[in-house]
Homo-oligomer: A and B are copies of this chain.
Amino acid sequence: MSAEGAFLKACRGQAVPYTPVWFMRQAGRYLAEYRAIRAKASLLEICRRSDLAAEVTLQPVARLGVDAAILFADILLPFEPLGLGLSFAKGEGPVIARPVRSPTDVARLPEVDPSDGLGYVLDAVRTIRKALDGRVPLIGFAGAPFTLASYAIEGGGTRDFVTTKRFMYSEPDAWHTLLDRLATLVGRYLAAQAGAGAQALQLFDSWVGCLSPDDYREYVQPHSATALSLAAEGGVPVIHFGTGTSMLLEFMAQAGGDVIGVDWRISLDVAWSRLPGHGIQGNLDPAALLGPVPTLEAKVRDILRRAAGRSGHVFNLGHGVLQQTDPEHLRAVVDMVHEWSAAGV
Measured CB to CB, the residues of A under 8 A from B are: 159-162, 165-166, 168-170, 209-215, 244, 246-247, 264-267, 270, 285, 287-288, 290-292, 295, 299, 302, 322, 324
Contact = CB atoms under 8 A, between A and B. Distances in A.
A287 B246 contact: no
B290 A212 contact: no
Given A169-B288, A246-B265, 19 more contacts: A160-B287, A165-B288, A166-B287, A166-B324, A168-B291, A169-B287, A169-B290, A169-B291, A209-B244, A210-B265, A212-B267, A212-B285, A213-B267, A214-B267, A214-B299, A214-B302, A244-B265, A246-B266, A247-B267
B265 A212 contact: yes
User: In the assembly, how many copies of this chain are there?
Assistant: 2
Contacts of A264: 212
Contacts of A160: 287, 322
Contacts of A322: 160, 162
13 contacts: A160-B287, A162-B290, A162-B322, A165-B290, A165-B291, A166-B290, A169-B291, A209-B265, A213-B265, A215-B285, A244-B265, A247-B265, A247-B266
A291 B285 CA distance: 34
A169 B212 contact: no
A165 B267 CA distance: 18
A159 B159 contact: yes
B266 A213 contact: yes
Nearest to A296: B169
A30 to B, nearest CB: 12
A162 B267 contact: no
Contacts of A291: 165-166, 168-170
A321 to B, nearest CB: 12
A233 B287 CA distance: 36
A166 B165 CA distance: 33
Contact of A295 (B169, B267, B270): B169
B165 A285 contact: yes
A120 B214 CA distance: 43
Nearest to A164: B287
A278 to B, nearest CB: 19
A162 B335 CA distance: 24
Contact of A290 (B170, B209, B210): B170
A291 B165 CA distance: 8
A302 to B, nearest CB: 7
A287 B162 contact: yes
Question: Which of A166, A209, A295 has the most C-beta atoms of chain B within 10 angstroms of its own C-beta?
Answer: A166
A166 B287 CA distance: 7
Nearest to A246: B246
A34 to B, nearest CB: 19
Contacts of A299: 214
Contacts of A267: 212-214, 247
A191 to B, nearest CB: 31
Contacts of A324: 162, 166
Contacts of A247: 246, 265-267, 270
Nearest to A210: B265
A141 to B, nearest CB: 21
